[in-house]
Amino acid sequence: MKQVDLLIHNARQLVTSASDKGPKRGLAMRDAGVIENGAIAIDGESIAAVGETHVIRAAFSARREIDAHDLVVLPGFVDPHTHLVFAGSRVNEFEMRLEGASYLEILANGGGIISTTRATRGATPADLMAVARRNLERMSVLGATAVEIKTGYGLDLETEIKMLEVIAQLDLDVPLTIVPTFMPAHAVPPEFRGRTDDYVEVIVNRMLPAAADWYRRSHFAKVGRPCFVDVFCEREAFSLDQSRRVLEVAKSLGFALKAHVDQFTNLGGVAMAVQLGATSIDHLDTITSDEQSVIAASTTVAVATPAATFHAGGRQFTDVRGLIDAGAALALTTDFNPGSSPCLSIPLVMAIACRYCRLTPAEALNAVTLNAAYAVGMGHRLGSIEVGKQADLLVSDLDDYRVLAYEMGGNPIRTVIRSGEVVRRYD
């Protein structure tokens, strides 16, 4: 009998999200990979075995055991798109929007991303860390074990690098896996107002090379964690050509790519980002059916942001049903940020997606686990309960995993395990 560090057994349902063929697509999205009365053997940071309890117990003994009798065990959630490092508050803009102002109007008038940029430029790294830690803690309580975090509230070299430093420190300090994204092309800063092309030149000539140097020296490069460059391809932000220029240079410097596309306005960003081999394309509220087929035929993951649409009181949710039916690999995210999506809860995102985008609970679960891991280039290591993967698991107080998307605004997560370590436990 082999000895391992941790054995979780007797789970009423062990939901694996397992797939041996990359991200899930089409009908495979409807299979959450449930093992009844399941067990997991964990050795060190990784999963050593997965199966029915009687089989795993016959093969392994453990230094520590968790009896998940009557409980549901799930993969830790992967949140593939957040703007979690920032200073200041935009709750006043929430009120403006309730009175009828639009997101792009507020941005055009120096609010929105620009107001967060003012506050972030004035904040110390310690200020930024304090807010970010508190928000990551809340995400972790709600089941996130891996989170992508973007820069993009600096919009000058010094502050953008300050944000990268904070993101790297968070990865070292908090019990979550953090994936970094550099996003100086998030908005046009006030000092370049009306001169977007000039700002793009600064991005490609100075900021991207400096970020590439930073990444090479960072611990992320040493542990093989990817670093992304992202761009906001939108009216009031960056045109299709400007977005392409930023992503092309980023690619030539070795970055993996992401793009904010079709949030409000369809500028044709899908074909551009797919052609450049983007790992993910995010938002997609205004995607056409032809573009759905373009993503479906590629390896790019489509990341929908239903909490942002919900927060805007919007009715045009991403056609997630169309994307899945076309064969695209679909992931979901909170898009957590202080303006368009103040949402820290992956279970709430699932609940919204099922109701407004007509996803099944299994599709929503695969979209926040395995497919979300692929959206951040980590599908080989995170996102499912499979042998060899990092042991990131949740023990939840559910009697059926589908209740995760059925309930609204609750938190059934009891125990969070990250890299084989119990990081939270509520009995």
The residue range among 72-80, 286-294, 331-339, 371-379 that interacts with ligand NIG, by the rule CB under 6 A, is 331-339
The closest residue (CB) to Fe ion is: 335
CB atoms within 10 A of CB 123: 22
CA dihedral 243, 246, 249, 251 (to 10 degrees): -70
Nearer residue to ligand NIG within complex by CB, 120 or 145: 120
Q: How far apart are CA 19 and CA 21, in angstroms?
A: 5
CA atoms within 13 A on the CB side of 220: 27
Q: Is 242 helix (H, G, I), strand (E, B) or coil?
A: helix
Residue 402 near ligand NIG by CB under 6 A: no
Using rule CB under 6 A, residue 227 touches ligand NIG: no
- Among residues 19, 78, 75, the alpha carbon closest in space to that of 47 is found at 75
Question: Minimum distance from CB of 116 to ligand NIG (Å)?
Answer: 5
CA separation for the pair 203, 197 (Å, rounded): 10
For the bound state, the minimum distance from the C-beta of residue 190 to ligand NIG, rounded and expressed in Å, comes to: 15
Residue 262 contact among ligand NIG, Fe ion, none, beta carbon within 5 to 8 Å by kind: none
Beta-sheet strands, E only, within 243-341: 256-261, 280-283, 301-304, 329-332
Q: Does 412 bind ligand NIG (CB under 6 A)?
A: no
Q: Which of 304, 210, 205, 225 is nearest to 263 (CA)?
A: 304
Residue 112 binds ligand NIG, judged by CB under 6 A: yes
Query: For ligand NIG, which residue has the nearest CB?
Result: 339
Q: 157-173 and 208-217 are packed helices; what angle lies between their axes, rounded to 10 degrees?
A: 30
Extended beta strands in 207-261, E state: 228-233, 256-261
340 is in the binding site of which of ligand NIG, Fe ion, none (Cβ under 5 to 8 A by kind)?
ligand NIG
User: Least distance in Å: CB of 341 to ligand NIG?
Assistant: 6
Task: Choose one: 89-97, 166-174, 323-331, 333-341; the region binding Fe ion (CB under 5 A).
Answer: 333-341
Q: How far is the CB of 260 from ligand NIG (least distance, A)?
A: 5
Tell me which residues in 335-374 interact with ligand NIG (CB under 6 A).
335, 337-341
Residue 184 or 412: the one with the smaller Cβ distance to ligand NIG is 184
How are beta strands 329-332 and 177-185 bridged, if at all? unpaired
Are the beta carbons of 181 and 227 closer than 8 angstroms?
A: yes
Q: Which stretch binds ligand NIG (CB under 6 A): 111-119, 309-317, 318-326, 400-408?
A: 111-119
Asked whether position 232 contacts ligand NIG by CB under 6 A, the answer is yes
Candidate segments 111-119, 174-182, 271-279, 330-338, binder of Fe ion by CB under 5 A? 330-338
Binding partner of residue 263 among ligand NIG, Fe ion, none, CB cut-off 5 to 8 Å per kind = ligand NIG
Of 45-53, 221-229, 290-298, 327-335, the window that binds Fe ion (rule: CB under 5 A) is: 327-335
Binding track, positions 285-304, relative to ligand NIG; x by CB under 6 A: --------------------
- Shortest CA distance to 230 belongs to which of 252, 210, 259, 203? 259
Nearer to ligand NIG, 144 or 413 (CB): 144
Residue 115: CB minimum distance to ligand NIG, A: 9
- Which residue type sits at 80? P
Single-letter residue type at 426: Y
Can you point out the beta strands (E) in 70-196? 72-75, 77-79, 144-150, 177-185
Cβ partners under 8 Å of residue 283, min gap 6? 260, 261, 262, 263, 303, 304, 305, 308, 318, 335
- Our CB check for Fe ion shows the closer of 335 and 392 to be 335
- Is residue 14 within 8 A of residue 35, CB to CB? The reply is yes
β-bridge pairing 72-75 and 393-396: antiparallel
Residues in touch with Fe ion (CB under 5 A): 335
Residues in touch with ligand NIG (CB under 6 A): 83, 112-113, 116, 232, 260, 263, 308, 335, 337-341
